[in-house]
Amino acid sequence: MKLRFPLLLMLLLGLSVYAVQHNSKADNEARYELPKSSSRTQIVKHTGYTLSYSEDDEQAFWVAYVLTKEHVEQRSAKRTNKFIDDPAVRTGSATNADYARSGYDRGHLAPAADMGWSETTMKESFFFSNMSPQEPSFNRGIWKDLEEQVRAWAIDNERIYIATGPVLSGNLERIGPSGVSVPRYYYKVILDYTQPELKAIGFIMPNQKSTRSVKDFAVPVDSVERFTGIDFFYTLPDDLEKHLESQVDLNLWSWKQKKVRKQPKS
């Protein structure tokens, strides 16, 4: 008994330390992607992403989530294409009637392809709170190219932190019975917080067709913050946040070749 009790005590202490460290790591990892929230928006948490909802615009100011190599490679759930109201938005989200015959796509902010790692996350990716009116040529063109590029980075870097959304400023066009704002620009910011090479990058894209490369739209995260008024990655240590957000080194990121998309027959 004298031998067993110390051994058992050491084992229990070891498990306790592991649990604390594990939970602490999970808590730390879960916070980096979230921008600083505003008192005039509703924060809504779903399984695969968190969003800040603007009732005035009937869409999210931002959608934030962690994307891992496992998420991208697992892809166990099939795309549903079933767009539904978000029951978690207290004031009610936009609906299909808002987009019907508008000429705009129901553009995903958190892409369905990023949420294919479970049936639940796939379903929740089709909530209207995760949609924004996008020009079809933009949604299916340069925006899709950027989404594919980000998934490649998740594989390359094991884990990345993403915040994305529309730029909801200025006198914007409105569509549908709910008056959904039509953004002129969209943004995406990405943080790689895995050693040995920490880095961050941002993108600002006009809501229109483009034949340019995704790389042409890359900017420092600071530029996206000034353009949107949103404070990204604010939970990082101040010196590190300033360093990562003030510059962008394109050579630190791998780049997919731009696809040549076939034009529909006239």
Q: Decide: 89 and 129 in contact? Cβ < 8 Å.
A: yes
- What string of pLDDT tens digits covers the 266 residues of the chain? 443 444 443 433 443 333 333 333 444 444 788 999 876 779 999 999 999 999 999 999 999 999 999 999 988 899 999 999 999 999 999 999 999 999 999 999 999 999 999 999 999 999 999 999 999 999 999 999 999 999 999 999 999 999 999 999 999 999 999 999 999 999 999 999 998 889 999 999 999 999 999 999 999 999 999 999 999 999 999 999 999 999 999 999 999 765 544 444 43
> Domain spanning 33-252: which CATH class is it, in words?
alpha beta
Residue 173 bridge partners (DSSP) = 182
Q: Is the peptide bond before 196 cis (omega within 30 degrees of 0)?
A: yes
Query: Which residues are annotated as part of the binding site for Mg(2+)?
Result: 139
Q: Decide: 227 and 216 in contact? Cβ < 8 Å.
A: no
Query: Which residues are annotated as part of the binding site?
Result: 139
Is residue 108 part of the annotated active site? The answer reads yes
Domain residues of the chain, as ranges? 1-31, 33-252
- For residue 259, what pLDDT is reported? 54
Catalytic residue (one of 46, 71, 108, 243)? 108
3-state secondary structure (DSSP) of residue 10: helix
Q: Vertex 84, ends 133 and 96: CA angle to 5°?
A: 45
Q: What is the pTM of this model?
A: 0.85
- For residue 7, what pLDDT is reported? 43
- What whole-number distance in Å separates Cα of residue 38 and Cα of residue 36? 7
Q: Decide: 227 and 185 in contact? Cβ < 8 Å.
A: yes
- For residue 153, what pLDDT is reported? 97
- In terms of Cα–Cα distance, which of 209, 215, 206 is closest to 187? 206
Burial 37-46 (b: 16+ CB within 10 A, else e): eeeebbebeb
